[in-house]
Chains A and B, each alone.
Chain A
Amino acid sequence: MTPIKTAVLSTTALVALASAAAAQELNALVWCDHTDPALVQPFEEKFGVTVNLKEYEGTAAGLTILEQSQPGDWDVLVIDAVDVGRAVEGGFLAEMPADQLPTADFFPEVVMAANNVIGGKTYAVTEKFGYNTIAYDKSKVDPADMEDMASLTSGKYDGRIAIYDYYLPVIGLVALGQGVATADITADSLAGLKDPLMALRKASKQVSDVVSAQTALATGDVDIVVGGGEWLTAVLTGENANLDWTIPKQGGLRWAQSIGVVAGSAQPDLALEFVKYIVSPEGQARLATSSCYWGMPANAKAGDALTAEQKAVLRWDRQPEYLARAQLYPIPDAALDTAMQDLWTEMLAQ
Chain B
Amino acid sequence: MSLAAREARLGWGLVAPALAWTVAFFVLPFLGMLALSFARMDGREVVPALDPGNYLRLATEPQMLGALVNSLQITALVTVLSVLLAYPLAAIIAFRVPRRWQRLALLLAILPFWTSYVVRSYAWLLVLGQNGVLNQALDALGLGPLELAATRAATVIGFVHFFVMLLTLTIYANLVQLPPNYARAAADLGAGPVRAFVHVILPLTLPGVVTGAFLTFVLCIGDYITPQILGGNSELTLPQLIMLQLGRSGNFPFASALSVVLMVIVTLAWAATARWVRLDRI
Contact = CB atoms under 8 A, between A and B. Distances in A.
A206 interface: yes
Interface of B: 41, 43-44, 62-63, 66-67, 122, 125-126, 129-132, 147, 149-150, 228-229, 232-236, 240-241, 244, 246-252
Contact of B249 (A60, A216, A349): A60
A60 B251 CA distance: 9
A219 B150 contact: no
Kindly list the 7 A-B residue pairs having the minimum CB-CB distance in the complex, ordered from nearest: A206-B232, A60-B250, A349-B63, A334-B43, A206-B150, A207-B233, A58-B247
A337 B248 CA distance: 10
Interface in A147-178: 159, 162, 165, 167
27 contacts: A58-B247, A60-B248, A60-B249, A64-B246, A205-B150, A205-B234, A207-B232, A207-B233, A208-B150, A208-B232, A212-B232, A215-B122, A215-B126, A215-B129, A219-B130, A219-B131, A219-B132, A221-B131, A335-B43, A338-B41, A341-B244, A341-B248, A341-B249, A345-B63, A348-B233, A349-B63, A349-B67
B67 A60 contact: no
Interface residues of A, number: 34
B263 to A, nearest CB: 21
The dominant DSSP class at the A interface is helix
A349 B66 contact: yes
Contacts of B149: 206, 216, 221
A219 B126 contact: yes
A345 B232 contact: no
Contacts of A221: 129-131, 149-150
Contact of B122 (A162, A167, A211): A211
Contacts of A341: 244, 248-249
Nearest to A90: B44
Contacts of A206: 149-150, 232-234
A163 to B, nearest CB: 8
Contact of A212 (B67, B229, B235): B229
